[in-house]
Amino acid sequence: MTQPGPAHGVDAVSRAFADALARPLRGAALRAMAGQLKPQAFVAAAPDRLVIAATFAHAAFLAPDEVAETFDAFAEGWLGGPIGAPPIARLDRPPETAPEGLWAAYWEVVEDARAGRLDAGAITMRTAALGGMMPAAFQARLCLASHAYAGVGAAADAGWPARIELAGLAACPPGSLGRRFHDLIVENGFDLEVLDRDAIGLTRLPPPLGYLNARILQAHDLWHIVAGYETTALHEVALSAFQMAQFGHSYSAQFLAVAAGVAAVGEPAGFGVLMDMIATAWAHGRQTPPLMLVAWEEVWREPVETIRARFSITPYASPFPPDLFEQSGAAA
């Protein structure tokens, strides 16, 4: 394996990342390392941080069926207790081979993000481009892995979701989910379904990946509202961990692997914040019933509190102020 590493990094950092990719931490070893890092997270040495980043990257890019096992073990070690959700089985197969140029492209994204050369939209597109490098074998493995998450098969069997219309949301009563969703979209200038499903070729993805990606694009901001995540930089990171815990969302896993790489080669304080957000939001997602099964269109007119009670959804308890990055000027 070619040793990947940050362009500005020392050899020890590069070796730590490459070694962890080749021998990713699992189970008790990952729990132990996460538990050891937690007390010193804000001063942890770069090689130790790179081990965690590489462990995340291994699952995200080489073995998507290991995402749940990896993040369960990490969160249990970091939070100091069991995750409180049934385990999600992984496939019994070796990791995939990384496509040519993947790790060089990964480090280019990490370096550009660390240097503040990318805004949120650019990070999204660059991370999606990394996912686009993955071969057919990865997609096939991801399809199999997705069925291990509760509710995925039943949700996909219901057929492709209808497009959401802004006019229908505007007609909902004040305080309802539909009206709050409408106001969030309009007041922030968001796109209703984030990206056009046809333009990005979701219909060409093998099932259930097409459905899952189409539904989360149109439900992402709904999950913000119902699950209690604000539309700040820090909570976008947290919601990615929540989405990943809910249905193994591949883009979220790859985005968090990039974010962990940025934090690993940046200031240690940022690493500590990121790991706290990932661990707590992952646990929140694992402990929340599958939101993919909720027919949002049938509850537009109901208050959010009523919907939370009906589906046993507890709002996210953020360990940091949601606008921490914006307050500190560190959002870049």
pLDDT digits (tens, 9 = 90+) for 155-173: 888 778 888 999 999 999 9
- pLDDT given for residue 12 in this prediction: 62
- pLDDT given for residue 267 in this prediction: 82
Percent of the chain with pLDDT over 70: 92
What distance, in Å, lies between the first and last C-alpha atoms of the chain? 32
Kindly report which listed range (76-90, 185-199, 310-324) carries the lowest average pLDDT score: 185-199
- pLDDT given for residue 320 in this prediction: 96
Cα(123)–Cα(109) distance, integer angstroms: 7
For helices 250-265 and 102-114, give the axis angle rounded to 10 degrees. 60
Q: Report residue 136 CA to chain centroid gap.
A: 21
Sorting pLDDT into bands at 50, 70 and 90, what band is 9?
Answer: very low
> Measuring CA to CA, which residue among 96, 99, 89, 103 is closest to residue 62?
96
- pLDDT given for residue 332 in this prediction: 42
- pLDDT given for residue 195 in this prediction: 60
- pLDDT given for residue 97 in this prediction: 95
pLDDT digits (tens, 9 = 90+) for 298-318: 999 999 999 999 999 999 999
Whether the pLDDT of residue 230 is over 50: the answer is yes
Whether the pLDDT of residue 196 is over 80: the answer is no
What is the full DSSP assignment across 248-314? --HHHHHHHHHHHHHHHHS-HHHHHHHHHHHHHHHHHHHHS--GGG--GGGSTTSBHHHHHHHHTPP
**CB of 166 within 8 A of CB of 106?**
no
